[in-house]
Amino acid sequence: MRGWRWLAPAIVVLLAVTAWPVGRAIWTSLSTDPATSPGDRSFVGVDNYVDVLTTRTWWIAVAATLAIITVMVVLQLLLGLAFAAALRRMTVLWPVARVVVLLPFALLAVVSAVVWRDAVTTGFAAAWFRLDDLGPVGQLVAVSLGEVWRGTGITAVILLAGLLRVSTSLMASAVADGATAWQRFRRVVLPAMAPAIAVAVVYRALDALRMLEGPLLVDQPGTDVRTVPVLVWDTTFSRFELGLGAAMSVLLLVFAVLLAAALVPLLRVRRTV
């Protein structure tokens, strides 16, 4: 009982900043609520959810978002692992390198998105690769790659923490036992790194899921492919359809929960040695 008393303030704050807005969003999602036409506001039950879930636009957005998450996480993992392996071998430059690798992450997401969009529309990438009007989808790919560039450093640092957990004596034993490089990676490195990989994957996947700045920057009227956060933004803050936007944001929250629920057990540490 004494423990609860200490926990109570934290729980109250958590409820205030999480449960209240989520509850409010759920309540709003049960109405049609045009912000600039209060006379047309009415309770519609789950109609907004039915509307969203039966619309092609929504599922295209879900597919695009999932594709972006997958590609971004895989690229960041591979690049981050390569960087982490290189960083681990550094000696003299190590103090500088660990700061440099985190520099892209210090940039605001919107700044990175502008730079990467401009690179493929009017900048160096357009000149080098002779790109001619990539269109909104091409620009979406560019800003997603920009987010990969921005997030690779932090992924590398997380993976480096996992790599440092690999026991040097265990590795020496494996080499002495004649284990191949692949066997050493699978049986020695991966089990030690698994918690770090799990953190990196879940963190980067949820970060990619809520990515808004880049896709919003390259969004154009009539674009067929939009991400879910952009669709939520557009409906709520440009169309000002608050009920529909709230329904989408609740579904986005469910999407995030499902993603985390799928990734966490998938990446659970298993002892293979």
Partner 1 sequence: MRCAAAVLCVCLAAGACGADGDRPGAVPTLTWYVGPDRVDAPALAATCTEQAGGAYRIAVEQLPTDVTTRHDLLVRRLRAADDTIDLLSLDTSFTAEFAAAGFLAPVPRGKVGALRAGIAQTARAAATYDGELVVAPWFMDPQVLWSRGNLAERAGLDTTQPISWDDLVAGAQRLGVTIQVQDRDGSGLSDWVNALVSGGGGSIVTGAGRDAEVGLAGDAGRGAASTVELYEESQVGPGPSRDALSAFAAPDGGFLLASVSAVADPALAGVSGDMVATAYPAVGDTSVAPLAGVGLAVPKHAPRTDESWAAIECLTSPELLRPLMAEAQHGASRLATYNDPAVKGAFPQGEVARAAVKSGATAPATPYWFQVVRALDETWRPTAGVTQDTTPDTSQAAVEAAIEGTLR
**Could you list the residues that contact partner 1 (CB under 8 A)?**
32, 34-40, 51-52, 55, 57-58, 221-222, 231, 235, 237-241, 243-244
Chain length of the chain: 273
Q: Please, what is the minimum distance in Å from the beta carbon of residue 220 to partner 1?
A: 9
Return the residue matching tokens 């979406």: 140
Nearer to partner 1, 3 or 222 (CB): 222
Amino acid at 262: A
Nearer to partner 1, 34 or 104 (CB): 34
Q: Please, what is the minimum distance in Å from the beta carbon of residue 221 to partner 1?
A: 4
> What distance in Å separates the CA atoms of residue 195 and residue 268, rounded to the nearest whole number?
8
Over the Cα atoms of the chain, what is R_g?
23
In this structure, the number of other CB atoms found within 10 A of the CB of residue 16 comes to 10
Q: Please, what is the minimum distance in Å from the beta carbon of residue 58 to partner 1?
A: 6
Alpha helix (H) residue ranges in the chain: 2-14, 20-28, 47-53, 56-89, 94-100, 103-106, 109-121, 124-128, 135-163, 168-176, 181-184, 190-209, 213-217, 228-233, 242-266
Nearer to partner 1, 127 or 254 (CB): 254
Q: Please, what is the minimum distance in Å from the beta carbon of residue 239 to partner 1?
A: 6
Q: Please, what is the minimum distance in Å from the beta carbon of residue 53 to partner 1?
A: 10
In this structure, the number of other CB atoms found within 10 A of the CB of residue 239 comes to 14
Nearer to partner 1, 155 or 235 (CB): 235
Nearer to partner 1, 147 or 219 (CB): 219
> What distance in Å separates the CA atoms of residue 49 and residue 246, rounded to the nearest whole number?
10
